[in-house]
Structure 1
Amino acid sequence: MANIRDEVFIEEQEKGLSDSKTFKKLWKYIKKYKIILMIALLSLTFSTIIDLMLPYLIRYGIDNVINVEYTFSKNEKNEYILKDDGIYKLDSKDEKYYFLNKETQQKEYISKERFVSYKQENINKVTSFSGIFLIVLIFQLIINYSQVFFSNLLGQKVIYDIRSDLFKHIVRVKYRFFTQNPSGKITTRIVNDTQNLSEFFSDVMSALMKDIAILIGVLILMFVLNVKLTLYTIITFPIVLIAVYLFRKFDRKAYDKVRTRISIVNAYLAENISGSLVTKLFNQEKRKKEEFNYISSKLYSARLNQMIVFAIFRPMMNLLFYLTMSLLLWFGSKGIRDSFITFGTLYAFTAYVEMFFKPLFDIAEKYDIMQNAFASAGKIFKLFGETHEDLGNAKYKNIQKGEIRFENVKFSYNENENYVLKGASFSIKENERVSIVGETGSGKTTLIKLISGLYKYQEGNIYIDNKKLYDYDIDSIRQKIAVVPQDVFLFSGNIIDNIRLFNENYSDQDVINAAKTVYAHDIIEKLPNSYNTEILERGGTLSSGERQLIALARAVLYNAKIIILDEATANIDVETEDLIQKALDKISLNTTIISIAHRLSTVKSSNRIIVVHKGKIAEEGSHSELMNKKGIYYDLYKLQFENS
């Protein structure tokens, strides 16, 4: 990594897409599942309507069922009082029920049966209302389940598509992308950021839409119930809106810092865990600890800033809630006394005020998840903006001979600045064994990357079998161009799967035959479980030579027409090097072999040696021919021989 303080600054300057652009790109994935979306929205609509109508329904029950015309309550004299109108009594003389009007003091006799029916009618109304209310609650449960299920189903399908498309895209981007971005950062995008987006669908999206609908619905219903009481109640609402706006502004800034600093920590850990051997060998533990403490402290301070925003917002919302409730009860109680509202209306208002503030109480958590998701989605979709590598126009899909020709090829890693290759021209014949040598930085490895199509040259042309490189389907011909690097990468799994690269089209016997061809069979057989020996990450349990023999077996299995060895024998023992040379002698009968080497003693057996100097082809010929010229190759060989 760069200087860790510079890394923090650079990372924090990186911005994802804007929220509006992010949502537009997200919508392309959402609209693929229109039926699920429609079911989720319908469930959300019904769920919101039921939630809004429950207080209204309870208000109706209080005012029109419990306090109806035939509501009875006993007093201490065993009399049935009906509201404030009068009293039902039993006349002791003739044992008849009568109604005594409070104002007129007139008696109205009724039969016992009628009196009982009054009581029963009241009980029936309460029973019916309770039954209806229970049915509404059960329906609400079903609708809420439907809303949660289909919202989450939609989210999981969208996240699956995004994660699949993102990985598919990343493996096709230009090779330059992987050299400029730490693996930890890329992993954060594919794993952490898609998970953050998943939480948005499961925890926020449907809830946020419902909350907005409830906020609007609450205000409408409050005005419908009583305009005067609503105006008293919403006195504090402008302050609430200002508080929410300020929270959104400061939380966004705080959260952006948290996200970028988490990415820095992930990238730092991934790089330094992989490089732990170098850290130990050079006694860098103390410096690495100081670097990690620095970036960890930056993450801590970002988290602390976010916590301060939350700590101010939540208590303020509590204060505004209780202040609003106090105003409501104050004016509501006066309203009941002055008879411009009923008790049921006051209850409905208290329920609606609580319903209005509930989403605002949760806004801190929901907004945090939403910002997290949109920040992650913005960076994910920005990653989708990375251009794909040029895979050619696919006129040809197979290499027949393995002839290679460079014609005045110019290449720069910085787009037409500081050219590494400055007009390289040379040719390699079918089944020829060629070595490319030169001082460090001369452009040897760059030649290999251009042949494989990892980088695209700016000028000139490369021909394979007399056809332009980019007239081929690069994707297809890479199977016929095998590269054996100095540090062979092996995947977690067993030996046999690493040779066939998990391609089940190749049988176990095919793999064994390929291993025998490159003299790797006997070495593999000595391993604990032979071909089924499990390999740890990057093949750390195998020696460099063993890994390179596996890579050669892989090339033979895939019938590569061109095999490129990039410093393949630089760090191996003499015995393994001898096996590799024997394998190359056998393979070279049907394969073009290109070796890049610093150790000039290993290139003597090549048919031809190409000397690269300052981005150009300086000399060509056999070992003896170049030694007789006494040019650049002679000087390099003499220097190595004298040093050895």
Structure 2
Amino acid sequence: MASVHEEIFLEEKEKSEGDLKTFLRLWVYIKKYKLLLFLTFLTLAIATIIELALPVFIRYGIDNVINVNYSFDLVPENETQFVEQENGAYNLEKRDNNYYMVNNQTGERIQVSGEQYSQYFDLAIRKIQIFSLIFISVLVGQFLLNYGQVFFANVVGQKVIFHLRKDLFSHILKLKYTYFEKNPPGKVTTRVVNDTQNLSDFFSDVVTSLLKDIAIIIGVIILMMVLDFELSLYTMSMFPVIVVSVVLFRHFDRKAYDKVRTRISALNSYLAENLAGSNVTRLFNQEERKKKEFDYMSTKVYRANLQQMYVFAIFRPLMSLLQYFTISILLWFGSLQLTDGQTTFGTIYAFTSYIDMFFRPLFDLAEKYDIMQNAFASAGKIFKIFDQEQENFGRKKYTTIQEGKVEFQNVKFSYDGNKEVLKGVSFKINPNERVAIVGETGSGKTTIIKLISGLYKYQSGKILLDDKELYDYDLNELRKKIAVVPQDVFLFSGTILDNMRLFNQDIPDEEVKKVAKSVYADEIISRLPQNYYTVITERGGTLSSGERQLVALTRAVLFNSKIIILDEATANVDVETEFLIQQALNKISERSTIISIAHRLSTVKSSNRIIVVHKGLVVEEGRHEELINNHGIYYDLYRLQFENS
């Protein structure tokens, strides 16, 4: 079964851009918001400095506020006062319910009165209170700075995503027609919606803390070495193992996440395609086969997620184990130094806090790295769309056509560069002429229409519009004067009236209705529950083929198209609607050139001229009666249809 879906997973073999290159392309959008970036980095820097300073601050409190000797300092006239001495001459001791200051060297005791003890106690409490108030103030300031950092970073992120998504959609609208033939709508939708949302998660969950985490890891190492160089060397003996573990995790997690994103994209494409074709699945009783295909696709996603989970599941327990090993090393060597008087209890506490601070970003790294890799993988896929070539082969010397004259001069075209679909087609269509192009399936009829619209670039020959080569026009402006009415008309969600004017509110309702009446669309639309204001679903599923054709025809006339192309427009309509369309075409041909592609030859009899295409060449031209009398290919096609009917 894998061979059936082999093509869907080709993306897995595509080489992704490096993270640095992807970030540099994102930076083009990020750097536009310099003030917000400055505020983000400023609040980030101050908050990081405070967080790094907190263990040192607490160390000072332990060693100099809480765990300190307050002793008598003897002064003249036998007066006494309390002073703070790290290695005071006297220690306060309680013996027989009395308090004494005991000399550390001689053991001499001086009794302390209740008032003196109260002074001693008040001094200690006052210093602890001041220290606590300062500590709380620092914590409140840190909270405000962290809030500012997250807020500014998120504002930057949302602005970047907004402009990136807008630019992406604008770029997609200008891509070559061939891109949409090779890429299903579900895949493109994933890029515009899901992948940009992944980038939004990156800015909100990762950018706000990634730089801070890096700064904290570096700051922890520096501060530990400053506090106690020897103890820091013992503690950091585990760091090489930690670094190797992180590098290995990064490698395997990136591969796993790329696979997850690719397979989710493939599943989205599959769902979009099969939901759109659900009627075909039911009519041909293909539910079981589609169910098996979906199970296969879903299993692929499931297995990719499991692979990513295996990598994720081992990382956090490993980091926890390494943290406890590091703390054990600290306590072992720290206790030895504490016993020898080489360090203080406050220093050991600070080291313990720094170890916790060092591992905290590593614990979150698994989740953050998943988000980051998800974002970079999504960004890479987004930028691949930006790298797709846009339609840019118009020289823009001319902007519009005035008459509607069309001429092919020995035009050759191949889709793949090998097999020629058109092998030297030549014909001329005069302004306001009504011409039909007929031929068997695969003869090149639809290709001719796509070339007139500039959807493909022909390899040789010339296509002239009003005696000017197609490539001399601005394609965007040119298409405003060329309207195509396909066999399966696409309508957007909204009212019929909005679809007729393509949601251009500058066109008055009455003008739309006037044009609809002129092409006989009003007769059918007036039968609908709310006539022109009837709301239709996407693709116009609630309308018949004929009703959709009339809406598209009204649209073509409303926008004053000089060339109107009907690609099998009457193939699936009833007799009444076909009659109305033929009447409308007779009126439209008074001011526009009409080109019809048709298999039903009965619908082209009223054309001024019929062009017969056979195996990529124009083999016959003339009116219906002339071609019948010639007993050529057209005669054979007509006779075959007539006999079958």
Q: TM-score scaled by structure 1? A: 0.95
Offset at 1:159?
Answer: 1.0
Aligned to 1:75: none
| Superposed counterparts of 1:287-306, under 5 Å | 287-306=289-308
Question: Shift of the alpha carbon at 1:47?
Answer: 1.2
Equivalent position of 1:27 in the other structure:
27
Please tell me whether residue 63 in structure 1 is matched to residue 84 in structure 2.
no
Q: 1:462 offset after TM fit, Å?
A: 1.1
How far apart are 1:553 and its partner, in Å? 0.6
Q: Is the 8 A contact 1:562 1:592 kept in 2?
A: yes
Q: CA deviation at 1:564?
A: 0.5
> What amino acid maps onto 1:613 in structure 2?
H
Q: CA deviation at 1:20?
A: 2.1
Aligned partners of 2:270 and 2:71: how far apart in 1?
A: 74
How far apart in 1 are the matches of 2:5 and 2:575?
Answer: 45
Q: What is residue 76 of structure 2 aligned with on the other side?
A: none
Whole-angstrom distance in 2 between the partners of 1:97 and 1:462: 111
Shift of 1:8: 4.1
473-482 or 112-121, which moves further after superposition?
112-121
Amino acid at match of 1:411: F
Change (3 A) 1:105 1:534: same
Structure 1 letter corresponding to 2:12: E
Cα pair 2:71 2:89 within 8 Å, conserved: no
Which position in structure 2 is the counterpart of 1:477?
478
How far does residue 91 in structure 1 lie from its aligned partner after superposition? 12
Q: How does 1:70-219 map to 2 (within 5 A)?
A: 70=70, 86-88=90-92, 99-107=101-109, 116-219=118-221
Which stretch of the first structure deviates more once superposed, 561-570 or 476-485? 476-485
> Which residue, 380, 384, 387 being the options, matches 2:386?
384
TM-aligned CA distance change 1:308 to 1:387, over 3 Å: same
Q: How does 1:479-498 map to 2 (within 5 A)?
A: 479-498=480-499
- 2:267 aligned residue (265, 270, 276): 265
Aligned-partner Cα distance in 1 for 2:503–2:111: 97
Partners of 1:327 and 1:262 lie apart in 2 by 45
Q: Which position in structure 2 is the counterpart of 1:52?
A: 52
Query: What secondary structure is seen at the aligned counterpart in 2 of 1:12?
Result: helix
Could you tell me how far 1:206 is from its partner in structure 2? 2.7
2:81 aligns with none
The separation in 2 between residues aligned to 1:216 and 1:101, in whole angstroms, is 46
**1:629, CA displacement in angstroms?**
1.4
Query: How far apart in 2 are the matches of 1:237 and 1:328?
Result: 13
Please name the residue that 1:223 is paired with.
225
Q: Which residue of 2 aligns with 1:282?
A: 284
Corresponding residue of 1:315 = 317
Report deviation, 1:282.
Answer: 0.6
- Could you tell me which amino acid in structure 2 is paired with residue 18 of structure 1? G
What is the rounded CA distance, in whole Å, between the counterparts of 2:270 and 2:641 in structure 1?
A: 38
Q: Could you say which residue in structure 1 is the equivalent of 2:235? A: 233
Unmatched runs of 5 consecutive residues or more in structure 1 = 73-80
- Unaligned stretches of 5+ residues in structure 2: 73-83
In 1, Cα distance between the equivalents of 2:583 and 2:545?
Answer: 17
C-alpha separation in 1, matches of 2:469 and 2:388: 26
Query: Are 1:4 and 1:295, in contact at CA under 8 Å, matched by a contact in 2?
Result: no
Give the distance between the partners of 2:510 and 2:637, measured in 1 at CA.
Answer: 44
Contact 1:71 1:122 in 2 (8 A): no
Shift of 1:373: 0.6
1:579 alignment counterpart: 580
Please identify, of 525-534 and 49-58, the stretch whose mean Cα deviation from structure 2 is larger: 525-534
User: Which residue of structure 2 aligns with residue 77 of structure 1?
Assistant: none
What is the CA deviation profile of residues 431-462 of structure 1, one whole-angstrom value per residue up to 9, with x for unaligned ones?
10000001111110111111111111111111
Distance 2:342 2:432 in 1: 101
User: Does the residue aligned with 1:420 lie in a helix, a strand or coil?
Assistant: strand
Distance 1:181 1:432 in 2: 37
| Whole-angstrom CA distance in 1 between matches of 2:364 and 2:289 | 43
Change beyond 3 A, Cα 1:575–1:119: same
Q: How much does 1:530 deviate?
A: 1.5
1:166 to partner: Cα distance: 0.6
- The amino acid of 1:568's aligned partner reads A
Structure 2 residue aligned with 1:567:
568
Inter-partner Cα distance in structure 1 for 2:407 and 2:69: 103
Matching residue's letter, 1:499: M
Q: Aligned ranges for residues 543-622 of structure 1 at < 5 Å? A: 543-622=544-623
Structure 2 CA distance, aligned partners of 1:175 and 1:97?
A: 95
Alignment correspondent of 1:13: 13
Q: Distance in 2 between matches of 1:13 and 1:286?
A: 30
Separation in structure 2 between the aligned mates of residue 279 and residue 184 of structure 1, nearest angstrom: 18
The answer to whether the 8 Å contact 1:8/1:295 transfers is no
In structure 1, the residue matched to 2:513 is: 512
Counterpart residue number, 1:253: 255
Query: Aligned-pair distance for 1:85?
Result: 5.3
Q: Distance in 1 between matches of 2:325 and 2:16?
A: 40
Contact kept in structure 2, 1:402 and 1:561, CA below 8 Å: yes
- Is the 8 Å Cα contact of residues 16 and 377 (structure 2) preserved in structure 1? yes
Does structure 1 retain, via aligned residues, the 8 Å contact 2:9–2:262?
no
Is 1:529 aligned to residue 494 of structure 2? no
SS at match of 1:99: strand
How big is each residue's C-alpha offset from its partner over 1:522-554, in whole Å with a ceiling of 9 and x where there is no partner? 221211112111111110000000000000010
Change (3 A) 1:183 1:3: farther
Shift in Å, 1:98? 6.3
Contact 1:525/1:531 (<8 A) preserved: yes
Number of residue pairs matched by the alignment: 633
Taking only aligned residues, the RMSD between alpha carbons, in angstroms, comes to: 2.2
C-alpha contact (below 8 Å) 1:404/1:465 kept by paired residues = yes
**Match for 1:371: what amino acid?**
Q
In 2, Cα distance between equivalents of 1:90 and 1:155: 63
* Higher alpha-carbon deviation: 626-635 or 261-270: 626-635
Mark the CA change 1:405 to 1:90 in structure 2 (over 3 Å): closer, same or farther.
closer
Match of 1:408 in 2: 410
Partner of 1:541: 542
Which shifted more, 295-304 or 498-507? Answer: 295-304
Q: 1:275 to 1:354 in 2, by over 3 A?
A: same
Per-residue deviation, 1:310: 1.6
Aligned in 2, Cα 1:53/1:90: closer, same or farther, shift over 3 Å? closer
User: Is the counterpart of residue 418 in structure 1 residue 449 in structure 2?
Assistant: no
2-side partners of 1:21 and 1:8: how far apart?
26
CA shift, 1:566, in A, is 0.2
1:62, CA displacement in angstroms? 0.6
Query: Which position in structure 2 is the counterpart of 1:635?
Result: 636
Deviations 1:362-411 (A, max 9, x none): 11111111110111111111111100013622222222111111111111
Aligned-partner Cα distance in 1 for 2:399–2:420: 30
* One-letter amino acid of the structure 1 residue matched with residue 180 of structure 2: F
Residue by residue over 1:116-149, the C-alpha shift from the partner in whole angstroms, topping out at 9 and shown as x without a partner, is 4443332222122111111111110111011101
Aligned match of 2:375: 373
CA–CA distance in 1 between the matches of 2:285 and 2:217?
61
Cα deviation code 1:588-620 (max 9, x no counterpart): 111110000001111110000001111111111
The worse-fitting range, judged by mean Cα deviation, of 212-221 and 240-249 is 240-249
Residue 296 of structure 1 deviates from its aligned partner by 1.0
**Per-residue deviation, 1:315:** 1.3
For 1:50, give the aligned amino acid. I
Distance 1:586 1:333, change over 3 A: same
SS at match of 1:167: helix
SS in 1 for 2:621: strand
Q: Which secondary structure state, in structure 1, belongs to the residue aligned with residue 70 of structure 2?
A: coil
Residues 498 and 86 of structure 1, relative CA distance in 2, 3 Å threshold: same
The residue that corresponds to 2:39 in the other structure is 39
**Take 2:187 and 2:364, find their aligned partners in 1: how far apart are those partners?**
31
The verdict on how the C-alpha distance between 1:300 and 1:321 changes in structure 2, with shifts beyond 3 A counting, is: same
CA displacement 1:141-164 (0-9 Å, x = unmatched): 111011101111111111111111
Q: Is the 8 A contact 2:59 2:346 kept in 1?
A: yes
Runs of 4+ in 1 over 6 A off after TM superposition: 81-84, 89-92, 109-113
* Candidates 353, 356, 365, aligned match of 2:355: 353
